[in-house]
Amino acid sequence: MRPPAIVILNAGALDLARSIRGSLGGAIHAPDTVPGADTGFDHAAAHLRRLFQDGHPIIAIMATGATIRCLGPVLADKAAEPPVICLSEDGASVVPLLGGHHGANRIAMQIAALTGGHAAVTTAGDTRFGVALDEPPAGWTLENPAAAKGVMAALLDGATVRQDGLPPFLADAGLPLAADGAVRLVADDARRAPSALELVYRPRHLVLGMGAERGAPAAEAIALAEALLAQAGLSPLSLALVATLDVKADEAALQAVARHFDVPFRVFDAARLEAEHPRLENPSDIVFAEVGCHGVAEGAALAGVGASGLLVVPKRKSARVTAALARADGVLDPATIGRAQGRLTLVGIGPGSAQWRSPEATRAIEDADALVGYGLYLDLVRDVPTRAERHDFPLGAEEDRVRHALSLAATGREVALICSGDAGIYAMATLAYELVDKGGLDPAERRVEIHVCPGISALQAAAARAGAPLGHDFCTISLSDLLTPWPDIERRVQAAAMGDFVIAFYNPVSRRRRSQLAAARDMLLQHRPDDTPVVLATNLGRAGEEVRILPLAELQVDMVDMLTVVVVGSSQSRAFQRGDGTWRVYTPRGYAGKAGRTLDDADQPYRTEPAA
């Protein structure tokens, strides 16, 4: 479940919100006018709907009627929607509004215990027996949730529950027990169909250990795993995780098995698997010579269930995959077993403002347990609620940033590397892949999962603010010669000028590098008119935003700083003034010829746009 969002409408609810946050975690969301919140918003209804659709449990310190009206348009599937709880500002009334059996009742009772208020739980089973039969605790899965409504109805009508096989978490639930009860509530991992008036709870206590040749087909691995469970007569819903040796952390076939069963994927090092040698039924000296342990599939299964667990199905083999199954003596928490593959997400946050950041990027930041980046970029995402560790790096330490992020991810962590603009455009994604490809990394670092969240690039933001200068063919060129020799940059500028591309110049100047932009301007003036429109966009989407439009011949180096992107139009680009006095630039999609010059009046200057 995602972290809860505690939504308030005024400063008077801030103390209560902080108390709830301290107990349940999550973040406080409040109007921009309320200081002290974790996240601000300017429109409560839209913000509530966005939180709901993103899957955050909502604790709304506001009227139930208002909450219903806000969320009404996005209510669709009660089985998939997050819980919603409303409470009064004094904490006296706590109402589980939506998702009672998906956590709302439980959260409401936790809040009521904290505030001394009353949890207005109206679900019949909860009020009569103090239990939600279709909401088992972590580590358990209900085989047939659709039958829970009928079973509860029978109990409310006076039916009793058979005592044999009762799941341990229901032992103190206050259910009416009888030796010959008509209702059965059973803890069972056997593969079978439930009978009438029976709910079957599957304990997550099985570990599927697997090994595979490099590049083995995913279909083969899934088929072997399914066959193993079927032959053992065990329910896939009792599977807690898929485990293997750490050198197989990036093996696609094994990852596909974990996705197929919707369970975590965990790895162990060779020393940990070799510790299971005495318990293996099929030890192999050949395997030991290759990977340092006498068995991968059986060893991983046994390591996953711990010393008190037992091997249920010894190693089975297909053409290129091996699998074994072990059972623990209690339900398992995969987060405490082995380690995850580790994931590095390169997050493009756009120009920096929240409204230009994608939901995917926001979620990646929320889900991370470590944030890495240039300090300014990390400051730009402080509005995102997260408890991730922060790892700041100075400007210019790009490779250090990526190496550090990969090393953190290699320990099994969820790491977000924050990039301005788009992570793949003059940013960290290229460097991450280059290092993984040939950067002399530790093997575990090379096996880390890498994901890229795209963001709005500086050239897109500049174009949007200035009009539509990218309407025809365009290119981007970095004028920084720190990594690319100037003769190569010069050759690219000449080629783009001759090709009549619209050009977005990144890194146009620095404190010490002042000549390249002027040289690029002079090259372009050899191929396009003096009055070709140029867009200078600074601090896009942030405080101090400025967009200026001027003729190419008037472009001066001192007009530009390190936070400015320069977009130079093609010979076909036009700048024109609208009725409100603002200037806009566009590049026609067709080459039908220019109707007149860029300016209607040759001595009329371009206007500088005010900050947005």
Confirm if 454 and 422 have CB atoms less than 8 A apart. yes
Average pLDDT over residues 163-171: 87
CATH assignment of the domain containing 70:
3.40.50.11220
Where does the pLDDT of residue 598 fall: very low under 50, low under 70, confident under 90, or very high at 90 and above? very low
Residues 6+ positions from 601 with CB-CB distance below 8 Å: none
Q: Is residue 130 part of a domain?
A: no
Q: What is the dihedral of CA 170, 175, 177, 181, to 10 degrees?
A: -100
- What are the tens digits of pLDDT across the range 468-523? 999 999 999 999 998 899 999 999 999 999 999 999 999 999 888 889 999 999 99
**pLDDT score, position 125:** 64
* Residues 505, 442 share a domain: no
**Around Cβ 290, how many Cβ atoms within 10 Å?**
11
Q: Is residue 133 part of a domain?
A: no
Buried b (16+ CB within 10 A) or exposed e, 36-65: ebbbbbeebeebbbbbbeeebbbbbbbebe
Confirm if 468 and 587 have CB atoms less than 8 A apart. yes
- Of 187, 203, 219, the last residue of a domain is 203
**pLDDT score, position 79:** 75
Instruction: Tell me the H-state helices in 467-512.
Output: 486-498
Distance between CA atoms of residues 401 and 393, nearest Å:
6
- Of 154, 169, 203, the last residue of a domain is 203
Length of the chain: 612
Q: Is residue 135 part of a domain?
A: no
Instruction: Tell me the H-state helices in 25-75.
Output: 44-53, 64-71
* Residues 331, 212 share a domain: yes
CATH assignment of the domain containing 442:
3.40.1010.10
Q: Is residue 131 part of a domain?
A: no
* Residues 601, 477 share a domain: yes
Question: Among residues 241, 232, 283, 279, which one has the least CA distance to residue 259?
Answer: 241
Question: Among residues 108, 198, 84, 184, which one has the least CA distance to residue 146?
Answer: 198
Distance between CA atoms of residues 313 and 188, nearest Å:
18
Residues 6+ positions from 275 with CB-CB distance below 8 Å: 303
- In this structure, the strands spanning 343-348 and 310-317 are unpaired
Q: Which run of H or E residues covers position 476?
A: strand 474-478
When the pLDDT of each residue in the chain is averaged and rounded to a whole number, the result is 91
- Domain range enclosing 350: 343-456
Where does the pLDDT of residue 316 fall: very low under 50, low under 70, confident under 90, or very high at 90 and above? very high
Q: Is residue 127 part of a domain?
A: no
Residues 6+ positions from 348 with CB-CB distance below 8 Å: 358, 361, 419, 420, 421, 422, 423, 424, 427, 452, 453, 454, 455, 456, 457
Q: Is residue 68 part of a domain?
A: yes
* Residues 70, 146 share a domain: no
Residues 6+ positions from 397 with CB-CB distance below 8 Å: none
Report whether pLDDT(600) > 50: no
Instruction: Tell me the H-state helices in 359-506.
Output: 359-367, 375-379, 398-409, 428-438, 443-446, 458-466, 486-498
Q: Which run of H or E residues covers position 106?
A: helix 104-115
The number of folded domains in the chain is: 5
Q: Which run of H or E residues covers position 301?
A: helix 297-305
- Kindly calculate the radius of gyration of the chain based on its CA atoms and give it in whole angstroms: 30
**pLDDT score, position 94:** 94
Question: Identity (one letter) of the amino acid at 26?
Answer: G
* Residues 162, 64 share a domain: no
Report whether pLDDT(595) > 80: no
* Residues 304, 253 share a domain: yes
* Residues 299, 354 share a domain: no
Enter the DSSP assignment of 320.
S
- What are the tens digits of pLDDT across the range 94-136? 999 998 777 888 899 899 999 999 988 877 666 676 678 888 9
Q: Is residue 161 part of a domain?
A: yes
Report whether pLDDT(532) > 90: yes
**pLDDT score, position 601:** 44
Q: At what angle do helices 218-232 and 252-261 cross, to 10 degrees?
A: 50
Q: At what angle do helices 104-115 and 14-24 cross, to 10 degrees?
A: 120
**pLDDT score, position 263:** 98
Q: Which residue has the higher pLDDT, 260 or 153?
A: 260
CA 309 to chain centre: 34
**Around Cβ 277, how many Cβ atoms within 10 Å?**
15
